[in-house]
Amino acid sequence: MCDPVTIIAGASLAIEAGSAVVGASAQNKASKANAAAATTAMHDTWKSLSLRETQEQDTTQQTIMQADRQARSADAVARVSAGEAGVAGASVDALAGDISAQASAFKVTQGRNLDMTIAQLQQEKVAAKSAAQSRINSVPGANPFATGLQIATAGVNFANTIVSRKPGK
């Protein structure tokens, strides 16, 4: 029959080893849950940014179409007014050319603004990915080496207790 100290030391070994395994399992579970939540948040951010990209593109197209209609209307008004006034020639062509040039410059500016907005939204996607990775890294999985050391330490403590209880030779 084992003496009470050996039984207590053995129970302590089992509890410490079990605790190390349970702790490692809980850490791994928390790490996986955190990674899943971070990835979901990143994808939600990407969806939102992609929707905004589409909205920006649609808005820019509508603005350009409206400006194009206004330019054509201004050109028509200028030509009709010139015709009613009996004016023709280079000055009317210059006025029409200026209206067309302003419309073209507006389209180019809108296109550049859209490109810059899309580039910014793409950078926000990169930032969302970095934030997700940082969040994932903040809750690492259990270190199997550290868990093994905890179990080995419990075993050494058990062995030390047994050896110290043996009568000297």
Tell which wins on pLDDT, 55 or 10: 55
> 50, 133 in Cβ contact below 8 A?
no
Give 54-74 pLDDT, tens digit per residue: 999 999 999 999 999 999 999
Q: Taking the model in full, what pTM does it have?
A: 0.69
Compute the distance between CA of residue 107 and CA of residue 88 in angstroms, rounded to an integer.
Answer: 28
Task: Give me the helices (H) in the chain, please.
Answer: 4-85, 90-137, 144-165
Range ranked top by mean pLDDT from 1-5, 92-96, 163-167: 92-96
- Residues 36-45: b if buried by 16+ CB within 10 A, e if exposed: eebeeebeeb
Compute the distance between CA of residue 88 and CA of residue 96 in angstroms, rounded to an integer.
Answer: 12
Under the phi-then-psi rule, with left for phi > 0, alpha for psi from -120 to 50, and beta for the rest, what region is 122?
Answer: alpha
Compute the distance between CA of residue 100 and CA of residue 96 in angstroms, rounded to an integer.
Answer: 6
Indicate the pLDDT class of residue 167, thresholds 50, 70 and 90: low
Give 31-54 pLDDT, tens digit per residue: 999 999 999 999 999 999 999 999
136 CB contacts (<8 Å, ≥6 apart)? 34, 35, 38, 39
Phi, psi of 3 (to 5 degrees): -80, 160
Compute the distance between CA of residue 28 and CA of residue 140 in angstroms, rounded to an integer.
Answer: 8
> 82, 92 in Cβ contact below 8 A?
yes
